[in-house]
Amino acid sequence: MKEKAGVGRREFLSKTVAAAIAVPAVLAAGANAAHAQGDAPKPGPERTGVRTKKIAIEEHWANQELNDLRTEWGKRTGYPITVDPKAIGYSFPRTPDFEKFRIPFMDEFGITMQVISTGSPGVQGYADAQTAVAKAKAINDAQAEIIRKYPGRFAGFAGLPTQDPKAAADELERAVKQLGFKGAMIQGSTDWQYLDETKYWVIWERAAALEVPIYLHVQEPSFDSAKIYAGHPELTGSTWAWGVETGTHALRIINAGVFDAFPKATLILGHLGESLPYLLGRLDEGYFMAAKSGRKLQKPLSAYFRSNVLVTTSGLYRPEALVCAISAMGPDRVLYAMDYPFVQPKASIECFERTPMTDADREKISHLNGERWLKL
């Protein structure tokens, strides 16, 4: 149902309270259904890795050039490695491979299709616009060749040269119309310039016209904000810093009025929405209470999550977190993803299968929503 512009504060807060009251009941029902006892519920024989057909939509690949770019970008920006290579040593041999590791894994666990994209920093890692434009085309062409080589197993998100916003919009259109890609994945900010800035609105305008989503992937925070992690390297990377950076980026996009200007634009957030579904009530309360900057959104912040934002299950989360995301977003706006191969894939799948939800919602999240939103 379409939200009315300019919802009154009293009416909005009453809706927020009603939604908040419903969440504990959903969680309690889920816990009872799964017989949760402290840790995530143990899977029974009916909850196997192939219980549902799966389309996974945040699944990464890389060639040698992209792996070298990751190293070069880290040296150029001065960013230290925030992930222990020993902890995910199994990942990097699997990023370029499709036949030895990836497809057998997909077959074993019932993953019908992966929507593939490069990992961070991707095209955003190139230092200048001219190089980024040329490399984006080459990377997207290489990805399209992978998709053609394995019919029916893969679809793709384009990499965009955001160093030149107009060229990025043009490359998105080429990738969608000529290569058959389903949208784009942007690897966070571009030299810590964010997608709410008006120079990037041409990308949002083009994505809305093409009716394809923009997937905002995690990236390192700026050095200014990274000072808060000084002396605490364990809080960098996926532990905390990536999610905070990406969630803040998403809120900048919403608060800039991007979705008021382009109501058909769609933003995808991984990792269960970077914690934002958990905070919708707090975000709305804060927006009403805060001194404004002159901007005025047409709807409460939370309404954009139900009209312009999708979230995915990428990463490894406990079942109660997924229950919260489903409750906050609605089951039609949550899509399955793993973040292959950067999480323990089997554990990720088992976590999804253990999460208490209706069979209808499980089918939606595991593949039907992907088919619908990405036109697969």
Alpha carbon 53 to its chain centroid, in Å, reads: 20
Instruction: Give me the residue label for tokens 């490894």.
Output: 316
pLDDT (average), residues 105-133: 94
pLDDT confidence of 177, banded at 50, 70, 90? very high
Cα–Cα dist 346/111, whole Å: 12
Question: Confidence band (pLDDT; 50, 70, 90) for 32?
Answer: very low
Is residue 37 in some structural domain? no
- Amino acid at position 172, single letter: L
* Average model confidence (pLDDT) across the chain: 85
Residue 139's pLDDT band, with cuts at 50, 70 and 90, is very high
Q: Which of 86-100, 221-235, 329-343 has the highest mean pLDDT?
A: 329-343
Please determine, for residue 23, whether its predicted confidence score (pLDDT) is greater than 80.
no
pLDDT score at 350: 86
Extract the tokens encoding 194.
């964010």
What pLDDT sits at residue 83? 62
For residue 194, give the nearest of 212, 167, 221 by alpha carbon. 221
State residue 88's pLDDT score: 59
18 is a domain residue = no
Nearest-angstrom CA–CA distance, 268 and 280: 16
pLDDT in tens, 345-364: 778 888 898 899 999 999 99
Count helices and strands (H / E) in the chain. 16, 8
User: pLDDT-based confidence at 52, cuts 50/70/90?
Assistant: confident
Average pLDDT on 186-214 reads: 97
User: Measured on CA atoms in the order 262, 265, 269, 273, is the torsion positive or negative?
Assistant: positive
What are the CB-based long-range contacts (under 8 Å, 24+) for 36-45? 36/319, 36/320, 40/318, 40/319, 40/351, 40/354, 41/319, 41/354, 41/356, 42/354, 43/350, 43/353, 43/354
For residues 226-231, give the mean pLDDT. Answer: 83
Q: What is the mean pLDDT of residues 16-44?
A: 40
**Stretch 68-88: mean pLDDT, rounded?**
73
For residue 8, pLDDT over 90 is answered with: no
User: Model confidence over 281-300: pLDDT tens digits?
Assistant: 999 998 888 866 677 899 99
For residue 224, is pLDDT > 50? yes
**Per-residue pLDDT band at 84 (split at 50, 70, 90):** low
**Alpha-carbon dihedral sign for residues 122, 127, 129, 130:** negative
In a domain? residue 30: no
Res 260 pLDDT > 60:
yes
Q: Is residue 1 part of a domain?
A: no
Question: pLDDT band at 46, cuts 50/70/90?
Answer: very low
DSSP string, 83-104: S-TTTTTTTGGGSS-STTTHHH
Q: Is 361 designated active site?
A: no
Q: Has residue 359 been placed in a domain?
A: yes
Tell whether the model's pLDDT for residue 158 goes beyond 60. Answer: yes
- Residue 162's CATH number: 3.20.20.140
Quote the CA–CA distance of 348 and 215 in Å, as a whole number: 20
How would residue 87 be classed by pLDDT, with cut points 50, 70 and 90? low
In terms of residue numbers, what domain contains 100? 47-373
- Mean pLDDT (whole number) for 61-71: 88
Residue 22 has pLDDT above 80, yes or no: no
Of 159-163, 235-239, 326-330, least confident by mean pLDDT is 235-239
Average pLDDT over residues 145-167: 98
User: How many CB atoms are located within 10 Å of the residue 45 CB?
Assistant: 5
| 124 assigned to some structural domain | yes
Confidence of residue 175 (pLDDT cuts 50, 70, 90): very high
Residue 8 resides in a domain:
no
- Tokens for 359? 């069979």
Residue 282: inside a domain: yes
Looking at the chain, the whole-number percentage of residues with pLDDT higher than 90 is 62
Could you tell me the pTM of the whole model?
0.86
Number of domains in the chain: 1
Determine the angle formed by the axes of helices 9-34 and 280-289, rounding to 10 degrees.
160
The residue annotated as part of the active site, out of 97, 339, 359, 361, is 339
